[in-house]
Structure 1
Amino acid sequence: MKEEMVSIVVGFVPTKEGRAAIARAAEECRLRRVPMVIVNSARGGRDTTAYGADSPAEVELAQLVEQLKADGIDVSMRALVRGMEPAEDLIAVAEELKADFIVIGLRRRTPVGKLILGSNAQRILLDAPCAVLAVKAD
């Protein structure tokens, strides 16, 4: 019986935590020899782009993808602008792909910050259909 190919889904935002998530996901992809799917989720309408084609965040993401490909990683990207929370987008992509796991970057937040803003990380940890690897930035 042929083994089914799994993938690693990683959430990206242009922060040190987002970069740490990409770096760790790359390590896991090399180790497991599986593809990576980067999810870049932004709020907005269906006709909106996540950042704009020449924004610093879009340029950084394109450079990251090219570097990952140069390093031999099978990587694809999904820029989702559907008005959904990033947690919802990551979970949906992981479910669709039957991902092996999700990699996310974590940052420290105050209890009040968690209360007011909610926590995408917490939602992913609790609702993901697969294992979640949460990494901190250096």
Structure 2
Amino acid sequence: MTILVGRSRSREGTAAFTAAVAEARLRGQDLVVFDLDRTVHDEEVVSGSQLDFPTEVEGVSVSYRLPNERSRDAVGDLLDTAEAMDPSLIIIGIRHRSSVGKFLLGSSAQQILLQANAPVLAVKAEYSA
């Protein structure tokens, strides 16, 4: 089985990745990182050439997936990837949002929690004052 983590370049994304590595190691499973920010290029994903995109972390095999470059909906692409992969667990980072922010923009985390075909672990970044 495989664990799927939605990672972004944020504190929440880093917390999700850290939790995903720990969970994959605990379960003896591979890890697939879905890059929500679309910050890597196909050749970097395939080769694992970038230091930020290793193919193994703490004894866990890591591979990467990108959202569809024609799509504007990274969350929908993550859910499609989860549907195709059938992971044992999906891990996402979450952050506090104001009521107005939720109303105007919706909640990606809520969409994943409600529509995912696998259990979802929502991880928040450590609070720092």
**Short-chain TM bin:** 0.7 to 0.9
| 1:15 and 2:3 are equivalent in the alignment | no
Deviation sequence 1:30-80 (CA, Å, 0-9, x none): 0011111100135xxxxxxx3365xxxxxxxx43432x6142111100122
Q: Which one of 63, 74, 78 corresponds to residue 61 of structure 2?
A: 74
- 1:36 is matched with 31
3-state secondary structure, aligned to 2:66: strand
Write the distance in 1 (CA, Å) between the matches of 2:56 and 2:35. 17
Q: SS at 2:34's partner residue? A: strand
1:107 aligns with 2:107: no
Q: Which amino acid counterpart does residue 20 of structure 1 have in structure 2? A: A
Q: 5+ residue gaps in structure 1?
A: 1-5, 43-49, 54-61
Q: Please tell me whether the aligned partners of residues 11 and 125 of structure 2 are also in contact (alpha carbons under 8 angstroms).
A: yes
Quickly say closer, same or farther: Cα 1:96–1:27, change in 2 above 3 A: same
3-state SS, counterpart of residue 75 of structure 1 = strand
> Of 85, 89, 101, which residue of structure 1 is paired with 2:73?
85
2:46 is matched with none
Question: Unmatched 5+ residue regions in structure 2?
Answer: 42-49
1:25 to 20, 24, 41: 20
Sequence identity, in percent? 38
Structure 1: which 4+ aligned runs deviate by more than 6 Å?
A: none
Cα drift, residue 100 of structure 1: 0.6
Q: TM-score, normalised by structure 2?
A: 0.83
Q: Is the 8 A contact 1:12 1:39 kept in 2?
A: yes
Q: Hey, what does 2:51 align to over in structure 1?
A: 63
Query: 1:116 and 1:134 mapped to 2: Cα distance?
Result: 22
Q: How many Å separate the matches in 1 of 2:95 and 2:78?
A: 17
Greater shift in the superposed pair: 83-92 or 109-118: 83-92
SS of the residue aligned with 1:14? coil
